[in-house]
Amino acid sequence: MKFLVETSARHVHLSQEHLEILFGAGYELTKKKDLSQPGQYACEERVTIVGGKKEMPGVSILGPVRKATQVELSLTDARSIGVAAPVRESGDIAGSGACKIIGPKGEIEITEGVIAAKRHIHATPADAEALGVENGQIVNVKIDTDGRSLVFGDVVVRVSDTYALAMHIDTDESNAAGCGREVYGEIVK
């Protein structure tokens, strides 16, 4: 059974408190386009991420707001601006990297929240059953591309009724596999 593999580029998830510091009191995110996961969307707003070496302007914000601010970078992005970004599942930010985030109305310093997202598959319970996997299971996924096919190990399966079936990899991983616009993967033993 094959499933869509999507490239998740660098982005930020903001808490309401941080959104208002960066963009002004009472500010609400402006939806640019829906993403494949239900209820998730790319926003018109952008911020600058500042590390120990340099800054990275124009980083996308994904909505809706979350309980905690999280910055997701590829390992190449993190090294280039001089921040630590441990490989973690989304939401697992305790003890992760720190950075400054600058918006049009203010800036914040986060002491943790910078991660390189662990590659993962979003699946509904029905999708998981069809794939023969369960929540939290670690699998290998083969991606066939022209001249750069590879098998990704350490892919975590995340199961929820609120998901749509898709695998997410970052830009480093996508480039390594030579992914184009529409790429599919399959779990291999």
**Right CATH number for 120-188 from 3.30.930.10, 3.40.50.720, 2.40.40.20, 1.10.1040.10?**
2.40.40.20
**What's the pLDDT at 181?**
84
The residue-averaged pLDDT of 169-185 equals: 95
Place of tokens 């995110």: 29
Residue pair 104/57 in contact by the 8 Å Cβ criterion: no
Q: Which of 29, 36, 135 is nearest to 89 (CA)?
A: 135
Q: Which residues contact 126 (CB under 8 A, 6 or more apart)?
A: none
Count of residues making up the chain: 189
Q: Is the pLDDT of residue 28 over 90?
A: yes
DSSP-assigned beta bridge partners for residue 187: 141
Q: What are the extents of the domains in the chain? A: 9-117, 120-188
**What's the pLDDT at 189?**
86
pTM equals 0.95
Give the DSSP H or E segment for 131.
helix 125-131
DSSP-assigned beta bridge partners for residue 56: 49
**What's the pLDDT at 126?**
98
The letter for the amino acid at 112 is E
Asked if the peptide bond before residue 86 counts as cis, ω within 30 degrees of 0, the response is no
Convert the pLDDT of each residue in 91-145 to its tens digit: 999 999 999 999 999 999 999 999 999 999 999 999 999 999 999 999 999 999 9
Convert the pLDDT of each residue in 61-92 to its tens digit: 999 999 999 999 999 999 999 999 999 999 99
Q: Is the pLDDT of residue 46 over 90?
A: yes
Q: Is the pLDDT of residue 29 over 90?
A: yes
